[in-house]
Structure 1
Amino acid sequence: MTYCVGLMLNKGLVFMSDTRTNAGVDNISTFRKMFAWDEPGERSITVMTAGNLATTQAVISLLEERSKAVEHRSPSILKCESMFQVATLVGDTLKEVISDHADEGQQADSGFNATILVGGQIKGGKHRLFMIYPEGNFIEASEDTPFFQIGETKYGRPILVRAYDPEMSFDEAIKLLLVSFDSTIKANLSVDLPLDVRVYAKDAFQCDHTFRIEVNDPYYLEISEGWGGALREAFGRLPDFDLDAL
């Protein structure tokens, strides 16, 4: 399983993904699920993947190969003129890979299923965030839906819903995402560190902050322990239920 989050802020975009993949409790591996294409001054694009590993690796490999191919032979993520075109290209590539690998008549909800987040900015447009489904169609983040999750989403969603603020700083957003990931990691063994992080400031057209949070990262441990303590303290302040009042 996987957990990836793309968060849209007024200041830009924050991406975070775990690195655990598993095909059963005795077959656990670490794979990167975050990928990027940058042309400083022109564009910064981030892609995160969840689902069948063979499918997602094939999609990323095709996007990478076609970005290096001559223009007339293949569509290229580096030649798209808008983020909408990027989302369309990624969706078409995902649909192509699923179709090529699926048995005849098998649908996109088969074992080759995958979901992708893509976000960034291309010069001349605004920063945008999309979630792409196996069928190749997609939806875009908005003021009403300012973040997307893929993979194991349910455990980390409540903190995002309650604490997200479009005006928050990148530092606050990373803290928020770490709490969300910590909640997911504690509830589901199929999600785990290291975590990959990428921060994009709007109108920068390049990404200056890409890093990995390792298993024993001091800040992550502080957040994990502090959040657990804060929850226990908040729980203790809530009024007890009064059975005698029934």
Structure 2
Amino acid sequence: MIKNEIKNIQLESATIYADKFILCAGGKSYPRTGSTGDGYRWAEKLGHTITKPRPALVPIKIKEDWVKDLQGVSLQNVELKVLQKNKKQESYFGEMLFTHFGLSGPLVLIASRRIGELLENGAVVIAIDLEPSLSREQLEEKLRKDFQKNIHKDFKNYLPELLPQKMVEVMIKLSGIEEKKKLNFITRPERQGLVVLLKNLRMTVEGALGYKQAIITRRVAG
């Protein structure tokens, strides 16, 4: 005799008999839709092996406070790199959004699956390339030429040519360059530091928002 074998399902007005039954209870994500993860418990009681479910397509929380100042900023055509122990694990290209807690948008939601896996093994860092179409050398040359053409322009007034306006104040703080400094007085090390920020804007992952914000649940059954 097979343990916990289902022979029939008893309804209020009828009994359903079948050789096999399919349990369709949904995942654990978006519980307000009625999918609370009960199906895992039911399947386990019937003798099935359940591997650890994880939230997927979920926004990411970031530790750095300056990210909150960028709430609402949307970036297009950027590259997102996922790093662990200073080594690139994955990279993605597309659109993303800064929020009050960290990052969201299509690019981040897709990357969240891999980020969740890596977090189980240690700290994860996200690096954003704001100018993926240019190499570091090409970007530095562009800045050098721009600075020569606009020698009397303040650093703060130049940055909107590279970034959304709302990112300007944050980038000034991160770069350490005085906002009113004229472009022709910016040193080569300062210019190179700006290139690093534009090509490798790093932030530390605090975690994912979890099942309440996840669009799907993944790896639910074994």
TM-score (normalizing by structure 1): 0.20
Q: Which has the larger radius of gyration?
A: 2
| RCO comparison, higher one (Cα < 8 Å, 6+) | 2
TM-score (normalizing by structure 2): 0.22
